[in-house]
Chains A and B, each alone.
Chain A
Amino acid sequence: QLQLQESGPGLVKPSETLSLICTVSGGSISSTSYYWSWIRQPPGKGLEWIGSMYYSGNTYYNPSLKSRVTISVDTSRNQFSLKLSSVTAADTAVYSCARLVSLAAAGRGWFDPWGQGTLVTVSS
C-alpha cells in the first residue's frame, strides 16, 4: 500500500525559503501515469493546489505561486520535494503531499493517496 510522509521544518522565517520533503513508500516514484504533488491549507481556509511533477521532469504549477515554487523528484531516494521562496505569514499552512493520478490529460486528475500533512508556520 502506497504511503506518503512529509518532513521538514515547522517554522520558517519571513523572506526565507520553505523546504519540505515527501517520502514515498510501498511503491516507486517512477511509475507511469502519476504526478507527485503538493497541496496546502492555510488555517481556517480552503485547500490550494501548489503544483505537480512527473518523475521524468514535466511540471505543472499554480500560477498564483509559480514564481516562487520549485518541485523536484529524487528517484534514487523515492522522494520529492517542495521549495517555496520569499515566504510571508500568508504562507503559513498545513502542507500535504499527494500522488496525482493522471490517466487522460497530462497533469490533471485526482489525488490518491495523501500524506498526513505538516504545519509550517512563517514567523520571526
Chain B
Amino acid sequence: ETTLTQSPAFMSATPGDKVNISCKASQDIDDDMNWYQQKPGEAAIFIIQEATTLVPGIPPRFSGSGYGTDFTLTINNIESEDAAYYFCQQHDNFPLTFGQGTKVEIK
C-alpha cells in the first residue's frame, strides 16, 4: 500500500501569497498523483490530474508539479475563495490512497 504524507496539515495565508502543499509517496508512483479541493458542506472538486495537468475550468493560479515520490500543489496569488481543504490521491496501485489533507485558511 502506498502511504501519502501530506504537509502541512494547516496553513494560514494572506491574499496574494504563493502557497505550496506537499504530498510525499512512500514508493515511486510515476506521475499517478491527483489533487482535490473541498469546501465545507460541498462536494470535492478535482483540480490537478496526473501530477501536472490542470483540470479544465480550474483557475490557472493552481498548478501541480513532481514525479516519483515528491509532489507539490501550488496556488499562486491566493484568493479568499481558495480557503478550503486540499488533498492528494494516488492511482498507481491498489488500494487507491489519499493524503491526510491540508486546511488552508485565508487571513
Asked if B49 is an interface residue, CB under 8 A from chain A, the answer is yes
| Residues of chain A lying within 8 A (CB to CB) of residue B94 | 60, 63, 107-108
Q: How far is the CB of B49 from chain A (nearest CB, A)?
A: 6
Q: Which stretch in A12-20, A74-82, A84-92, A110-118 binds the other chain?
A: A110-118
Q: How many A-B pairs with Cβ below 8 Å?
A: 62
Interface SS of B by simple majority: loop
Tell yes or no: B71 within 8 A of A by CB: no
Number of interface residues of B (CB under 8 A): 25
Instruction: Assess whether B87 is interfacial by the CB under 8 Å rule.
Output: yes
Closest to A107 in B: B94
Size band of the interface chain A makes with B: 20 to 34
In the bound complex, do residue B95 and residue A116 qualify as a contact, i.e. CB atoms below 8 Å apart?
no
CB of B82 within 8 A of chain A?
no
B62 close to A (CB within 8 Å): no
A48 neighbours in B (Cβ, 8 Å): 98
Task: Give A62 to B98 CA distance when docked, in angstroms.
Answer: 12
Which residues from chain B contact A117 at a C-beta distance below 8 Å? 43
Report which B residues bind A (CB closer than 8 A). Answer: 32, 34, 36, 41-46, 49-50, 55, 87, 89, 91-101
